[in-house]
A and B are shown apart, each in its own frame.
Chain A
Amino acid sequence: MQRSFIARNPSVLIFLGILAVFTLGATILSEGFGIGLISTSMIKTLGKTLCLCLIAIAMDLVWGYCGILSLGHFAFFGLGGYMIGMWLMYARTENIILTSLAQAPIPPTDDEIRSAIGNQIFGVVGGSDFPLIWAFADSLTIQLVLVVLVPGLLALVFGWLAFRSRVTGVYLSILTQAMTLALSLYLFQNDSGLRGNNGLSGLQNIPGAKGVPQSIISIWFLWASAIALALGYILAAWMMSGKFGSVIRGIRDDEARVRFLGYSVETYKLVIFTVTAIIAAIAGALYYPQAGIINPAEIAPIASIYLAVWVAIGGRGRIYGAVIGAALVSLLSTWFTGGQAPSIPLGFYTIHWVDWWQVLLGVTFVLVTLFAPQGIGGAIDRLVRKGTQL
């Protein structure tokens, strides 16, 4: 008999339970809905962390399970952010323009409104015309579709070209990194149509939610992120627990064997690459309204390398490992680089964590790779196994 999905994946229920308690707890302690023990900016950090956990799941599927070390998934994350950011920025600017033009003695024409919005958005890069890619920026529905479509298509085309040519291993990693770098450099240009290095800003102001304080909005996004993470976790566990997961892990361990069993390895890689790109994009679309700003630096290759580090520290090939790694390392990173970590005076030298955090992270990564390749998740697995044996 085939056991039920939950019976095969006990970690799903545990994870959903912890996530629910965490989200409820944060809400109760928040300023917006609760007793105000957790500041709104902290709520935003927690919400963003949940989005990072979601992209870490995507990374774990593509790297930990399928063995494709993609150094480009933050590009999809960023593209998702840009797609939703375009609507957020357009709609909010439109509101502002309409309000200010309402006092004008002669009612403005549609063209005047549009050019005023264009001036407001693109003045910073010396333009006022809307680039072609903003054609649908006034429609939330279309931009939401584009959140999925644009990164999905990019992944599909890129993956098709790369996998069809049987590019594997470190060469593929370099290729994905080149893609990320190219995209980031392109977006840095002022005439890229996405405001160059200024990026899109003011994304925390949600059009149509005028007068709603950030303390409330931050809770909406915390919940939205938690739900997305929960769905992503269930999807990943479901995909990896059955025969599909067997094939994907088979590709990681012995690609040729899978091929000679009659499975089209290239197709499977393309599917997993594209699906994880879309998951990453959704995570990005939820992240940037909480961050408030997106610019091309977010897409720089280093971000995708960090992503790989989180998953490695958390434990590859375990979905909860990816979540633990992303949550732990990104929260620690916020703490260390935020200046809250106490400096260590050594007399002759003082260790300021803002500068030394990267060193600590790097050393941890090297040590984990050398001595605990299974990461934190591997340690948990060993403990659980010990527990069940007793």
Chain B
Amino acid sequence: MRTLLEVSGVSVSFDGFKAINNLSFQIAEGELRAVIGPNGAGKTTFMDIVTGKTRPNEGYVIWGERSVNLLKMSEAQIAQAGIGRKFQRPTVFEDQSVFDNLIMSLKNDRGPLGVLLYRRSARDNERVQELAEEIGLTDHLHRKAGELSHGQKQWLEIGMLLAQEPRLLLVDEPAAGMTLAEREHTTNLLKQAAKTRAVVVVEHDMDFVRRLDCKVTVLHEGSVLAEGSLDHVTQNQDVIDVYLGR
């Protein structure tokens, strides 16, 4: 399969501390990938670099078939290019309805004038209904997002990401703080999403990763320690030493 995102030789340091050290990483179109690693392994920094929040000191981040350099783009431009990001904490617009949250996220013109003159089309209404069904919030469309439970907020955020129709979805610890049933729903959502786009899931929880049943990348001290199936990496001696052995 063709490479969608290629991170090569990326390093970034904060006040002398190397958060990412010569990291190289590739993801193919339509791939589901889990990224694991102990605290401070650079998982979140990796996402920050890809989404444009942090600028690396060296290295390249190349995107899509036209090999665009993401390091030259702003966060908003990267998002428009097709990379969606879910934060660790659920971040939805709590003061606004679930419906408005989704409408705002739908893939449409992002410029101020276009947004000011925006009229909802029947297609957009339909899309919102579909998404709401997918994330299980059909009955809550007109509630304020702030009134939702923790799990529902996480799903809403995933729904907002899907509304953007990204080609790559970066998801940071989606299962944190969820009940078992909620986790299952989340797993299904992500697997479903990965059928039509690439998804990278950063996760701590091994059971959750096992359920995703996909290729796993282990990060340690800012670079890739091992890569392969979950069984493969969990038998790797280096991985056992730094991560699982404790």
A residues near B (Cβ < 8 Å) are 2, 239, 242-244, 246-247, 249-250, 253-254, 256-257, 259-265, 267-268, 271
Q: Is the CB of A239 within 8 A of B116?
A: yes
The answer for the CA separation of A239 and B116 in the assembled complex, in Å, is 7
Within 8 A of A (CB), among B1-47: none
Rounded to whole Å, the gap between the CB of A66 and the closest CB of chain B is 12
18 contacts between A and B (CB under 8 A): A242-B115, A243-B104, A243-B115, A243-B116, A244-B116, A244-B118, A246-B100, A249-B96, A250-B104, A253-B94, A257-B87, A259-B75, A260-B51, A261-B104, A261-B160, A261-B164, A264-B76, A267-B111
The answer for the CA separation of A207 and B225 in the assembled complex, in Å, is 81
Asked if B105 is at the interface (CB within 8 A of a chain A CB), the reply is yes
Within 8 A of A (CB), among B111-142: 111-112, 115-116, 118-120
Q: 3 tightest A-B contacts by CB?
A: A262-B79, A262-B80, A264-B76
The answer for the CA separation of A98 and B143 in the assembled complex, in Å, is 69
Name B145's closest neighbour in chain A (CB-CB).
Answer: A253
Q: Is the CB of A242 within 8 A of B76?
A: no
Asked if B85 is at the interface (CB within 8 A of a chain A CB), the reply is yes
Asked if B159 is at the interface (CB within 8 A of a chain A CB), the reply is no
Q: Is the CB of B119 within 8 A of A261?
A: no
Q: Is the CB of B74 within 8 A of A264?
A: yes
Q: B residues within 8 A CB of A262?
A: 76-77, 79-80, 110, 164
Q: Is the CB of A246 within 8 A of B76?
A: no
Q: Is the CB of A247 within 8 A of B104?
A: yes
The answer for the CA separation of A2 and B84 in the assembled complex, in Å, is 28
The answer for the CA separation of A254 and B110 in the assembled complex, in Å, is 17
Within 8 A of A (CB), among B179-223: none
Interface centre among A250, A254, A257 (most CB of B within 10 A): A257
Q: A260-B51, A262-B76, A263-B110 are in contact. Are A2 and B119 (CB under 8 A)?
A: yes
Q: B residues within 8 A CB of A256?
A: 53, 87, 91
Rounded to whole Å, the gap between the CB of A253 and the closest CB of chain B is 6
Q: A257-B91, A260-B79, A262-B110 are in contact. Are A242 and B118 (CB under 8 A)?
A: yes
Rounded to whole Å, the gap between the CB of A128 and the closest CB of chain B is 47
Q: Is the CB of A246 within 8 A of B110?
A: no
Q: B residues within 8 A CB of A254?
A: 91, 93
Q: Is the CB of B118 within 8 A of A257?
A: no
Q: Is the CB of A2 within 8 A of B104?
A: no
Q: A262-B110, A263-B110, A264-B74 are in contact. Are A249 and B118 (CB under 8 A)?
A: no
Inter-chain CB contacts under 8 Å: number:
71
Asked if B95 is at the interface (CB within 8 A of a chain A CB), the reply is yes
Q: Is the CB of B110 within 8 A of A243?
A: no
Q: Is the CB of B96 within 8 A of A246?
A: yes
- Interface SS of chain A: helix
Q: Is the CB of B93 within 8 A of A249?
A: yes
Taken residue by residue from 59 to 87, chain B's Cβ proximity to chain A (1 for < 8 Å, 0 otherwise) reads as 00000000000000011110110001101
Rounded to whole Å, the gap between the CB of A88 and the closest CB of chain B is 34
Asked if B103 is at the interface (CB within 8 A of a chain A CB), the reply is yes
Q: B residues within 8 A CB of A2?
A: 119-120
Q: Besides the contacts A243-B103, A243-B104, what 7 more A-B pairs have beta carbons closer than 8 Å?
A: A2-B120, A244-B116, A246-B104, A254-B91, A257-B91, A261-B105, A262-B77
The answer for the CA separation of A256 and B118 in the assembled complex, in Å, is 22
Q: A residues within 8 A CB of B96?
A: 246, 249-250
Q: A residues within 8 A CB of B93?
A: 246, 249-250, 253-254, 257
Q: B residues within 8 A CB of A267?
A: 111-112
Q: A243-B118, A246-B100, A265-B76 are in contact. Are A260 and B84 (CB under 8 A)?
A: yes
Rounded to whole Å, the gap between the CB of B179 and the closest CB of chain A is 24
Rounded to whole Å, the gap between the CB of B160 and the closest CB of chain A is 7
Name A257's closest neighbour in chain B (CB-CB).
Answer: B91
Interface centre among A253, A261, A265 (most CB of B within 10 A): A261
The answer for the CA separation of A253 and B91 in the assembled complex, in Å, is 10
The answer for the CA separation of A250 and B76 in the assembled complex, in Å, is 14
The answer for the CA separation of A262 and B51 in the assembled complex, in Å, is 11
Q: Is the CB of B112 within 8 A of A244?
A: yes
Rounded to whole Å, the gap between the CB of B72 and the closest CB of chain A is 15
Q: Is the CB of A264 within 8 A of B110?
A: yes
Q: Is the CB of A259 within 8 A of B79?
A: yes
Name B53's closest neighbour in chain A (CB-CB).
Answer: A256
The answer for the CA separation of A71 and B49 in the assembled complex, in Å, is 35
Name B93's closest neighbour in chain A (CB-CB).
Answer: A250
The answer for the CA separation of A253 and B94 in the assembled complex, in Å, is 8
The answer for the CA separation of A253 and B101 in the assembled complex, in Å, is 12
Name A254's closest neighbour in chain B (CB-CB).
Answer: B91
The answer for the CA separation of A21 and B79 in the assembled complex, in Å, is 49
CB < 8 Å: which of B51, B91, B92, B115 contacts A247?
B115
CB < 8 Å: which of B92, B112, B119 contacts A268?
B112
Q: B residues within 8 A CB of A244?
A: 112, 115-116, 118
The answer for the CA separation of A279 and B207 in the assembled complex, in Å, is 57
Rounded to whole Å, the gap between the CB of A191 and the closest CB of chain B is 40
Q: B residues within 8 A CB of A253?
A: 93-95
Q: A residues within 8 A CB of B116?
A: 239, 242-244
Name B51's closest neighbour in chain A (CB-CB).
Answer: A260
Taken residue by residue from 144 to 166, chain B's Cβ proximity to chain A (1 for < 8 Å, 0 otherwise) reads as 00000000000000001000100
Q: B residues within 8 A CB of A250?
A: 93, 96, 104
Name B82's closest neighbour in chain A (CB-CB).
Answer: A262
Q: B residues within 8 A CB of A261?
A: 79, 104-105, 160, 164
The answer for the CA separation of A247 and B164 in the assembled complex, in Å, is 15
Rounded to whole Å, the gap between the CB of A155 and the closest CB of chain B is 15
